[in-house]
Structure 1
Amino acid sequence: MTFFKTIKYCLTVVLMVMLVNICDSAYADGMGYSVQAVIPENQIDQSKTYFDLKMTPEQTQNIELEIKSSSEEVLNLAVVPYIGTTNQNGELEYSVEPEKNDSTLIYPITRLISGKQKVTLKPKETKRVTFRLKMPKKAFEGKIVGGFNVYDEANDTIKDSESKKNEVQIKNVFSVVIGIQLRENLDKIKPELKLNTVKAGLFNYRTAITANIQNIKSEFVSDLSLTAKIRKNGSSKVLYEAEKSEMAMAPNSNFNFPISLENQELEEGSYDLEIVAHSKDDEWTFTKKFRITDEEAARLNEEAVEVETKTNNKFLVITIAVVSLVFICMIVLIIVLWRRKK
């Protein structure tokens, strides 16, 4: 483990601080502004404080947000629409741009809504920001979801010097998110989960097996719980297992569910993964075979922090055995000498 990797791991703990609120008048604590959705007439439920709109194919509409400053200083804010995703903790996320959209997501909301806007607010000033929404020509079933992320650009990043060895960029983002959900009918879609790739990797810089879980339907999955077990091919002995509940998934999204190896070394070999998933109304069972190569295991073990190697364990066992033997010999010697003296 290099010094840089250790520092990088430590800093990762405080890498990002995110405040996400979907409420009536979302307020960024300490940031000096609040954000409120201007609810239109085609809101499905007028009591909701985020956008939940009944739309038709090719319909165009203006979407407005009201931003109010409570600061004594000028604020330079960014208002950015994002698609709804599921993060690695099994939580709904409306403020991160994924590296790649889910393969089942036909209509990302960012393609239907006009792009990022910048807003300057004088002290105590209130402004409305307008986005243009245009629905696709073809009708769709289910929900298209996303959120408007509002943040102060002055706090977007902590600037550091030019990239050098052993330097890590730290990003702090304090933001308010107002959700948006688009529907063309109120029919409920039955969620459907799928197990995709299973592979060895690192989770928080520790050895793990990750299983990609995908929601292939345009409906939320709520109250999701997962139980995973890993065995060697042909064995009934469970080597590693993980369980997590109270998760949720956005429509047409996926995330990597980690099964921690508890700081144990990754070992080359063929394995079986079994996952049982429960939601509020449904249950799914998945099994999948996967393999870890020598090259993968060696590389990931080298990159991991606090990994307990077999070499270390063997050395520990030998050390304990030697110390125990010496201790026993000392006891025997003391008893022999005492008897002779007596």
Structure 2
Amino acid sequence: MKKRIYGALIVVSCVIVSLVSTREVYAKDENNLGYVVTPLQPNTQIDMEKSYFYIKTVPGETQTLQVRVASTKKEEVHLKIYGVNAMTSNSGTINYTEDLTNKDDTLKEPLTSLVKVETPEITVGNFEEKTVNIQVTAPKEHYEGVKMGAIVVGLIPDKKKQKGMSTEYNYKIGLITAENGDEFTNGKTLKLNTVKAAIFHGKKMVLASLQNPEPKVIDNLNIVVTMTEKESGKAIKEKTVQNYKLAPNSHFNFELDWGINDLPSGTYTLKMDAKNYDEEWHLSKDFKITNEESKEINASSVFKIKTPTWLKVVSIVMAITSLALMGTLFYRRKKWEKAWKRLRIAKKKKKKNKNKK
């Protein structure tokens, strides 16, 4: 009896160990990329419950982070590993990019300047796994708040198999560095820097440049924007958005899309009321759209109504035909009225002659 119980316990233990091992090594490959990625949390991890890297740094010191890459198929896949920075998109979300051309002036030493991947390219296949080392060197000087970005593990496209346009999928593991574990989603400063009219993505736009100059995230931001004529105060454009999220030390363009309508010239005031759970902001800025700017923008936009020549010709022909038909009906009506008038006069004369007899 004891042997049976002992044997059953061994079988159950093996099953549990097998399930745990499978779950740990072969995480679900949702995009069928052929590989999965797992961050290995270091001892500098500030919050062990986070699924991304949120690490504590010491000025000038270097630490090594590790990412495990496991193959989920027999065929080889070629991968590139690199760091990206967190920035705010014009749709009010946090995007991750290597491109620093739109870097905010308040962003000093972005995350990508601190990260070095020891093996930027690897090949995995036949269900093997590899560990990638990433060195993070903290700035020499003390910094407030956080530096935010991500580690990307992406497929290197096979040029021989690649035909036409392809969609690039990859894994992104968030990476946030800090010198302490203070709350970093409670940014308190929101600035309205500039407002201008412009062509953006081929559309007629009024763009309001919003900035988060702090090294913290502004989260769950709801914004109501009203554009009014400066003198009369008449509202000519309104827009409401919810749940915007601004990356630390970043800016973005809040878009007022004019659609197919012409953008009018004049002097205007843009008012912006924004709030989240912690803060409220009431911002305002005057701006001007000159006649020259208005004409140039309206002429340059690809989003406008264009009437085909054949439609214009058909419209003119139909208008002439309609006018001719209306003229004919009017002429006939006058003719019929005269005829009825003569007939009534003749009937009255005939009636009078009968009465005299």
TM-score of the pair, normalised by structure 1: 0.78
Instruction: Give 2:283's match in structure 1, choosing from 282, 286, 296.
Output: 286
**Alpha-carbon distance change, 329 to 156 in structure 1, aligned in 2, over 3 angstroms:** farther
Map 1:1-342; keep pairs closer than 5 Å.
Answer: 27=29, 29-115=31-117, 117-154=120-157, 172-188=167-183, 190-308=187-305, 326=323
**Alpha-carbon distance change, 27 to 201 in structure 1, aligned in 2, over 3 angstroms:** farther
Find the residue that maps to 1:53 and give its secondary structure: strand
**Alpha-carbon distance change, 209 to 27 in structure 1, aligned in 2, over 3 angstroms:** farther
Q: What one-letter code is carried by the residue in structure 1 that aligns with 2:302?
A: V
Q: What one-letter code is carried by the residue in structure 2 that aligns with 1:55?
A: T
State the Cα distance separating 1:292 from its structure 2 match: 2.2
State the Cα distance separating 1:338 from its structure 2 match: 7.3
In angstroms, what is the RMSD of aligned CA positions?
3.4
Conserved 8 A contact 2:219-2:245: yes
Conserved 8 A contact 1:240-1:260: no
Q: What one-letter code is carried by the residue in structure 2 that aligns with 1:210?
A: L
Aligned length: 305
Alignment gaps of 5+ in structure 2: 1-25, 307-311, 341-357
Bigger mean CA offset, 332-341 vs 239-248: 332-341
Q: What one-letter code is carried by the residue in structure 2 that aligns with 1:181?
A: I
State the Cα distance separating 1:96 from its structure 2 match: 4.9
State the Cα distance separating 1:335 from its structure 2 match: 6.5
State the Cα distance separating 1:221 from its structure 2 match: 0.9
Larger Rg: 1 or 2?
Answer: 2
Write the distance in 1 (CA, Å) between the matches of 2:253 and 2:171: 26
Cα-to-partner distance string for 1:173-192 (whole Å, 9 max, x where unaligned)? 21211001111123346431
State the Cα distance separating 1:295 from its structure 2 match: 4.0
Q: Looking at both structures, which has the greater relative contact order when contacts are Cα pairs under 8 Å and sequence separation is at least 6? A: 1
Conserved 8 A contact 1:28-1:175: no
TM-score of the pair, normalised by structure 2: 0.75
Alignment gaps of 5+ in structure 1: 1-23, 161-168, 310-314
Find the residue that maps to 1:297 and give its secondary structure: helix
1 or 2, which has the higher helix percentage?
Answer: 2
State the Cα distance separating 1:245 from its structure 2 match: 0.7
